[in-house]
Structure 1
Amino acid sequence: MAGKPVLHYVNARGRMECVRWLLAAAGVEFEEKFIETPEAWEKIKNDGSLVFQQIPMVEIDGMKLVQTRAILNYIATKYNLYGKDMKERALIDMYTEGIIDLSEMISQLVLCPPDQKDAKIALIKDKTKNCYLPVFEKVLKSHGQDYLVGNRLTRADIHLLELLLYIEELDSSLLSSFPLLKALKTRISNLPTVKKFLQPGSQRKPPTDEKFIQEARKIFKF
């Protein structure tokens, strides 16, 4: 019997958080090995584990997978969260790429210089309300189903829930005009595996703050 997946990353959201979400939603227990010192970073870089000298890295099924999208694709396929055919997978990929685009814009706010932050937040709010959320609201309205693709849970729904929670952290009023997305958020949040992940004490990470950024600069020397 294969052991639990092992996630190698820092103790923060970053590019690993969507992997944590996907595993948790699939009901898969996982372990984490945090990189917390420059020495630990040098060790994992030099031991041959990182194909491109980058994290995240996930040990799963005898492999050491890197590159976030490759990791997510494997997990989604393994746990039947990637649609039933090529057409569904294409839609899932399309929606997921849009979700990632906006998620990365939000996650990078912590790196924004103070004198540019207000303008950046205003831009993100505008794109959230007028570009990204209308797309997903329209998809749900067009087919009248509970999930984005194929009327069953896929990785796209899980990634979207993660994004909606980030949007609420930024400004909860942004969701007020999107009743179908609010309903999807509630529906998926109440799935047993997801509900467990949302409880205090889970492996879900809090928002990244300036203190962590300073710690990361010391670890990765940037």
Structure 2
Amino acid sequence: MSEKVILHYFNARGKMESIRWLLTVAEVEFDEVYLTTRDQYLKLLDDGSLMFQQVPMVEIDGMKLVQTKAILHYIAEKYSLYGKDIKERVMINMYSEGLMDLMEMIMIHAFVSGTKAKLDDILTKAKERYLPVYEKALSGPVYLVGGKLSLADVQLLECTLMLEEKFPAILADFPNTKVSLMSQIPSISRFLQPGSKRKPQPDEKIKKTVMERPSRTRIAHP
């Protein structure tokens, strides 16, 4: 029996949240080690656990994985959420990376000044650049690629929920994107309930923790 997956990160969404989502959909149990002290960071650095001196870091299958995309691709491949061939995988990657671009803008927004202008920019780009792509792709199929659930679908649900937190009516003009069967998947339904391992929007405590992290440890964006 393999050891349980362990996630090393802040007690916050950030780059780790997509990993939490994907593991949840794959029905993989995981534990989390929250980084709250300088000594925790330094130990990870000193024992060579952080290849590029930054988190997130995931312990899985005897490895210590860093770099968010690499982690997501490994989990998606391992649990058959990454298409059937190279052509499907590249489509999944394109959809996934577009969503990661959009989610990164939302994540960073909480940690910068001039938030009103930034928020308006996110809304414009979401409605004009990103959401139309997924709306078109889902005009007939249930899933984005190959008629099967993939990493891209998981991230689309995560991203649309993040958008609705900021802009409650944003999906009104994107009915195909709004309608998702994924929330009916039992593991997802549980993940969306209070008390799950899904993280809330960052509050002032989380912002303080992230901004005051030790200088030797970097984070791949909030």
The TM-score bracket by the shorter chain reads over 0.9
1:150 maps to which of 146, 149, 170: 146
TM superposition shift of 1:216: 2.4
Aligned length: 216
Asked which structure has the greater RCO (Cα within 8 Å, sep 6+), the reply is 2
Post-superposition offset of 1:211: 2.5
> Where in structure 2 are the equivalents of 1:34-53 lying within 5 Å?
34-53=34-53
Flag as ranges the 4+ runs of structure 1 deviating above 4 A: none
SS of the aligned residue for 1:176 comes to: helix
Structure 1 position 196 matched with structure 2 position 214: no
| 1:82-101 aligned within 5 A | 82-101=82-101
SS in 1 for 2:33: strand
**Counterpart selection for 1:128 from 126, 129, 134:** 126
| Structure 1 or 2: more helix by fraction | 1
Partner Cα distance (1:54, 1:129) in 2: 32
Tell me the SS of whatever aligns to 2:80.
coil
Normalising by the residue count of structure 1, what TM-score does the alignment of the two structures yield? 0.94
Contact 2:99 2:159 in 1 (8 A): yes
What SS does structure 1 have at the residue aligned with 2:8? strand
In structure 1, what is the equivalent of residue 210 of structure 2? Answer: 216
User: C-alpha deviations, 1:122-159, integer Å up to 9, x for none?
Assistant: 11101111111011001111xx1110011110010000
User: TM-score with structure 2 length normalisation?
Assistant: 0.94
Aligned counterpart, 2:174: 178
CA distance in 2, matches of 1:219, 1:86: 39
- 1:79-132 C-alpha deviation (Å, 9 max, x unpaired): 00000111110100000010000000011111121xx21111111101111111
Q: How far off is 1:48 after superposition?
A: 1.1
Identity of aligned residues (%): 52
Corresponding residue of 1:63 = 63
Give, in whole Å, the separation in 1 of the partners of 2:89 and 2:211: 37
Gaps of 5+ in 2: none
Query: Which residue identity does 2:68 align to in structure 1?
Result: T
**Distance of 2:124 and 2:85 partners within structure 1:** 34
Query: 1:30 maps to what in 2?
Result: 30
> How far 1:220 sits from its partner (Å)?
2.5
1:160 matched to 2:159? no
2:54 is aligned to 54
Q: Which amino acid aligns with 2:91?
A: L
Q: 1:92, 1:211 → 2: CA distance?
A: 35
Q: CA deviation at 1:42?
A: 1.1
CA distance in 1, matches of 2:174, 2:83: 25
